């Protein structure tokens, strides 16, 4: 009986799991594994864990240009009343040290659960700093953290609003992500309490069939126009001017977007594709080519009619002439809450996360156009909004901590 041989494997196969897993990771994504191995060899002595490890140290924080992992816990935190500049400093030192250990598969100080952090499985922990922290530390708030303006169609819920800090915890093992979240929360309780936790998921192992781009719950490949390569990231994501402390940092905008699957799924496929401006199967623009080819907003069909609807999501999100800066890195995750019993069929959406140099030059003008006219607005509602400065990486200095150059 096959069911028994499978269960039999579970016992017999236990001892080969470690070496077999190496093959698995290598087989699944050879170039990715090679890149990770390269990182790991520089910093990490755990050769067994190396294949699963994303380097924590570097010029930029991990979890931004890192290929998306399967799981997200995005946790917003608020400082207790009366927090001081020293508290901010102490917490960020503590968090940096704990995050480095967890992401390398080591046991952070104070943890009695070495088994729960032994398999990082591409764990990344990315720290962001909200506008109020600049008040607490007595520094001028940078312009890129000016409040995101309200948009006409927003239905923001206070539950999902701005917090003082955020941790973006991503990984390919849900138990590891859960434990890392738990550890970061418990180790910071002297200073902060949690405001919200936004849990999300994507296709397992970072792939979805033929395309590396994950699918959202409308079935769309989500993130096809993301930056690719050093130049794109330098242009769109990493801050390279302004004060010294901001160099190599970036800015995260989080929008919680409810998606109405019930009404969306009433559409036929042609209408769905028209609303997005792209094919559902392979993500290619309706104007032709492949997923990563440029969209042609001027393409017409045999009758001279535009192939891409001017109000489609892709057309409205596209940078207008003279504004090549209106691009950014999307790194969103799907969410699925239990439906309200007896009432809802689903309670799903997107934890939209994007990274950029300055939201007021990038996210805000794009979202303004989408808010004004985007066919997708019929089926989506923005219910949460927040923005965070993402300090630079800690380089290769083991004593460095997040936002050190701002705080010292």
Footprint (CB under 8 A) of a second copy, residues 186-205: 186, 189, 193-199, 201-205
- Binding status of residue 396 toward a second copy by CB under 8 A: no
Identify the residue among 96, 119, 126, 404 touching a second copy (CB under 8 A): 119
**What does DSSP say about strands 165-171 and 124-129: parallel, antiparallel, or unpaired?**
antiparallel
Identify the residue among 132, 182, 247, 369 touching a second copy (CB under 8 A): 182
Q: How far is the CB of 266 from a second copy (least distance, A)?
A: 10
Identify the residue among 18, 135, 150, 243 touching a second copy (CB under 8 A): 18
Indicate the residue among 225 and 370 with the shorter CB distance to a second copy.
225
Indicate the residue among 35 and 153 with the shorter CB distance to a second copy.
35
- Binding status of residue 86 toward a second copy by CB under 8 A: no
Indicate the residue among 80 and 310 with the shorter CB distance to a second copy.
80
Per CB under 8 A, which of residues 332..391 are in contact with a second copy?
334, 336, 338-339, 341-346, 348
State whether residue 131 is helix, strand or coil. Answer: helix
Residues 6+ apart with CB under 8 A from 315: 277, 295, 297, 308, 309
Per CB under 8 A, which of residues 230..249 are in contact with a second copy?
230, 233
Identify the residue among 209, 320, 324, 395 touching a second copy (CB under 8 A): 209
What distances in angstroms separate CA 348 from CA 313, 338, 406, one per listed residue?
A: 19, 8, 38
State whether residue 57 is helix, strand or coil. Answer: coil
Identify the residue among 173, 248, 358, 374 touching a second copy (CB under 8 A): 173
- Binding status of residue 174 toward a second copy by CB under 8 A: yes
Tabulate helix, strand, coil % of the chain (nearest 5). Answer: 35, 20, 45
Query: Of 385, 355, 401, 279, whose CA–CA distance to 65 is shortest?
Result: 355
Per CB under 8 A, which of residues 275..304 are in contact with a second copy?
280-281, 292
Q: How far is the CB of 344 from a second copy (least distance, A)?
A: 8
- Binding status of residue 265 toward a second copy by CB under 8 A: yes
- Binding status of residue 25 toward a second copy by CB under 8 A: yes
Residues 6+ apart with CB under 8 A from 153: 371, 377, 381, 382
Indicate the residue among 84 and 175 with the shorter CB distance to a second copy.
175
- Binding status of residue 35 toward a second copy by CB under 8 A: yes
Place of tokens 């219910």: 383
Place of tokens 């990344």: 124
Decide: 111 and 183 in contact? Cβ < 8 Å.
yes
Beta bridge partners of 221: 215
Indicate the residue among 232 and 371 with the shorter CB distance to a second copy.
232
Place of tokens 């069909």: 301
Indicate the residue among 180 and 317 with the shorter CB distance to a second copy.
180
Rounded CA gap, 177 and 200, in Å?
Answer: 11
Decide: 159 and 145 in contact? Cβ < 8 Å.
no
Indicate the residue among 78 and 374 with the shorter CB distance to a second copy.
78
């Amino acid at each position: 009986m096959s069911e028994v041989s499978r269960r039999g494997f579970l016992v017999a196969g236990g001892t080969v799991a470690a070496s077999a897993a190496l093959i698995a990771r290598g087989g699944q994504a050879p170039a990715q594994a090679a890149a990770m191995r390269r990182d790991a060899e520089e910093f990490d002595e755990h050769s067994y864990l190396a294949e699963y490890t994303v380097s924590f140290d570097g010029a930029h924080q991990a979890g931004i240009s890192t290929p998306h992992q399967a799981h997200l816990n995005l946790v917003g935190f608020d400082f207790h009343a009366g927090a001081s500049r020293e508290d901010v400093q102490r917490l960020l030192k503590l968090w940096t040290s704990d995050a480095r250990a967890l992401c390398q598969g080591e046991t952070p100080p104070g943890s009695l659960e070495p088994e729960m952090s032994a398999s990082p499985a591409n764990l990344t922990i990315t720290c962001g700093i909200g506008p109020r922290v600049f008040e607490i530390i007595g520094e001028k708030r940078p312009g890129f953290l000016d409040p995101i303006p309200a948009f006409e169609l927003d239905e923001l819920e206070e539950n999902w609003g701005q917090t003082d800090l955020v941790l973006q915890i991503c990984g390919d093992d849900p138990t590891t992500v859960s434990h890392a979240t738990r550890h970061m929360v418990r180790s910071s309780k002297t200073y902060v309490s949690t405001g919200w936790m936004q849990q999300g998921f994507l296709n397992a192992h970072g792939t979805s069939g033929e395309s590396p781009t994950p699918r959202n719950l409308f079935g769309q490949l989500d993130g096809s126009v993301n930056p690719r390569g050093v130049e794109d990231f330098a242009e769109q994501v990493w801050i390279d001017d302004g004060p010294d402390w901001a160099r190599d940092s970036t800015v995260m905008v989080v929008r919680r977007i409810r998606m109405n699957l019930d009404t969306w799924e009433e559409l036929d496929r042609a209408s769905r594709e028209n609303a997005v401006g792209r094919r559902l199967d392979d993500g290619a623009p309706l104007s032709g080519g492949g997923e990563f080819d440029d969209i042609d907003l001027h393409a017409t069909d045999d009758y001279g009619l535009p192939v891409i609807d001017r109000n489609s999501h892709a057309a409205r999100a596209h940078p207008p002439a003279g504004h090549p800066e209106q691009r950014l890195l999307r790194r969103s995750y799907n969410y699925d809450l239990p439906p309200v019993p007896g009432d809802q069929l689903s309670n799903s959406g997107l934890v939209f996360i994007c990274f950029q140099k300055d939201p007021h030059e990038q996210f805000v003008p794009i979202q303004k156009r989408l808010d004004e006219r985007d066919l997708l607005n019929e089926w989506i509602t923005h219910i949460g909004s927040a923005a965070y400065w993402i300090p630079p990486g800690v380089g290769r200095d083991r004593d460095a901590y997040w936002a050190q150059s701002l705080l010292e």
